[in-house]
Amino acid sequence: MTKSDQSPFVFENTFSRTFKTEDNVYFNEVTPAAVSDPEWVSVNLQLADELGLQSHNLQSPKMLKIMSGDIRGTSLKPISVVYSGHQFGVWAGQLGDGRAITLGEHRINSTPTKYNELWDVQLKGAGTTPYSRFADGRAVLRSSIREYLCSEAMNGLGIPTTRALSLISSSTPVYRDDVESAAILCRVARSHIRFGSFEHFHYRNQSESVRSLADYVITRHFPEWLDTEDRYINLMSNAVLKTAETIAHWQAEGFAHGVMNTDNMSILGETIDYGPFGFLDSYNPDFVCNSSDINGRYSFKNQPAIGLWNLNALATALTTLIPSESLIPILKTYEPVFLSRYRSLMSAKLGLQKYEDSDEELINRLLALMNENSVDYSLFFRKLCLFSEDREGVRNMFMDRFAFDDWADSYSDRFNRQDLDASSIKRSMLKVNPKYILRNYMAQNAIEKAIQGDYSEVNLLLEILQKPYEEHPTAEHYAGIPPDWADQISVSCSS
Ligand code: AMP
Ligand code: MG
């Protein structure tokens, strides 16, 4: 046994509290409200490892108490933070952590790759806060399972995201359309600061607080910029760059976020706040995953433009720090960054080593064909990995086989021009075209079992989604097209 194995593990041992050193306009100290009869649904051992946490300590009865909101006997001083935001394009005023409570910050001190990084450890659903407005501060089991699985699925796909460390169920009732039970998710992220955090102070004419929030983010995440004149410009440029890259990933993997309000946009450009998200089944650019989004503002095809809209809102919030003549050229970098990342991701999915200008037409023709033929987006790309040995298998996915042949001839010419051996291309394609994505019906299966107290499906899905490119013989049934009943699943903002 090593020394750290012997010490009883609690977060407070490793928590630092950078947030507390700032003037305290951003947050309130809050005490979580524990749930009754807490039970582990899942503990994410892969992430525990990445964070340098000892998994057996993490799964201890003491940690079950803490992670279910009972912090008595600890020295934790949790906080909730304020933010505002534009929801569905309209200024919504003050929002804030209505059901998120940050226990503290964990400094990674053991793993070499992330050594010294600081991560927020946050409970979602642990009771009311000063920002709960009229709501109950709770989260239901179904939406918590969806967030838990999706954040890990996204990470498995290499998409920047907040993470999920554990999920706890309880017997505490929660009242939505029906009576459901409360769950508590432990979300960890390098930052939970949103575009809306800056908007909050800007629209209150508190420019000093905008500045100190920006300084806080820079001190914590980009200390190398601290003494430079361009630090705020760098912060904005980084937000543009990272947001463009993340959304390019969403588009390439067929992910629809569902609620791209400015309060759901991370200043680090990571995917945050999983609500009514959805992955594309058959390719449809007009896909709207959120049944509450009547006008389709956040449809799949609108996401890149909405990303820029949100960055404009962030830029407005930073006008007291950065002159507008500097903001405009920064915002103009969004489109080229997005396009370049999207093109390189799509080229890789097609097995093309390097994007060429004429590939745009090839990609657009393919997407149009998939749309017309209702071809499953992820399955197509997985099958395409075998194109050179089983062209017929790919062809059979299309109703209009002749139209496919047309496209496939062009693709084949382009593919063969690469002068690389097909088997090595196949190997690299299998590493970027997932066999498993989190389809709504899979989450639904896990939810229905979990409501009955059986958490095996949550844990099976966690395992396969963390390694979505690998073969998982016990989960072969999740690698095909969704069953007919999947069409009936409707996901709204209710959570
Ligand atoms: P969301 O749509 O999840 O991004 O939430 C929008 C705002 O509503 C945020 O300020 C949340 O904290 C708040 N909120 C959502 N659900 C609840 C709840 N059950 N209790 C308190 N606040 C909530
Ligand atoms: Mg939110």
Task: Return the DSSP state at 88.
Answer: T
- For residue 8, the model assigns a pLDDT of 43
Per-residue model confidence (pLDDT) at position 20: 53
Contact 277, 271 (CB under 8 A): no
State whether the beta carbon of 200 lies less than 6 angstroms from ligand 1: no
CA angle 220, 222, 226 (to 5 degrees): 95
**Quick one: how far is CA 207 from the chain centroid?**
30
Q: What is the DSSP string of 263-300?
A: GGBBTT--B---SS-EE-SB--TT----TT-TT-TT-G
Q: For residue 103, give the nearest of 80, 128, 83, 82 by alpha carbon.
A: 80
Answer for the pair 40, 59: CB distance below 8 angstroms, yes or no.
Answer: yes
Residue of 27, 132, 175, 195 with the most ligand 1 atoms within 8 Å of its CB, for mutation: 132
The answer to whether 144 touches 125, Cβ cutoff 8 Å, is yes
- Going by C-alpha positions, the residue among 230, 247, 236 that lies closest to residue 335 is 247
**Does residue 130 line the site of ligand 1, with CB under 6 A?**
no
- For residue 207 and ligand 1, the question of a CB distance below 6 A is answered with no
The one-letter amino acid at 104: G
> Which residues are tagged catalytic?
263
At 252, which amino acid appears?
A
SS3 annotation, 113-165 = CCCCCEEEEEEECCCCCCCCCCCCCCEEHHHHHHHHHHHHHHHHCCCCECEEE
Residue type, 22: E
Closest ligand to 98 CA?
1
CA 403 to centroid of ligand 2, rounded, Å: 43
10-residue stretch averages of pLDDT, the chain, 495 residues long:
43 66 70 98 95 86 95 91 96 97 89 83 97 96 98 98 98 97 98 97 93 92 94 98 98 98 98 97 97 96 98 98 97 98 98 96 98 98 97 98 98 94 95 98 98 98 98 97 89 85
Of ligand 1's listed atoms, the one at least distance from the Cα of 275 is 3
Specify the pLDDT at position 488.
Answer: 87
| Cα distance between residue 434 and residue 243, in whole Å | 22
Beta carbons of 272 and 303 less than 8 angstroms apart: no
Give, using CA atoms, the residue closest to atom 14 of ligand 1: 98
Please work out whether the CB of residue 67 comes within 6 Å of at least one atom of ligand 1.
no
Q: How far is CA 113 from each of CA 116, 157, 218, rounded to the nearest angstrom?
A: 9, 19, 21
Q: What is the reported pLDDT for 296?
A: 97
Q: Which of 88, 99, 123, 266 to mutate to test the pocket of ligand 1 (most atoms within 8 A of CB)?
A: 99
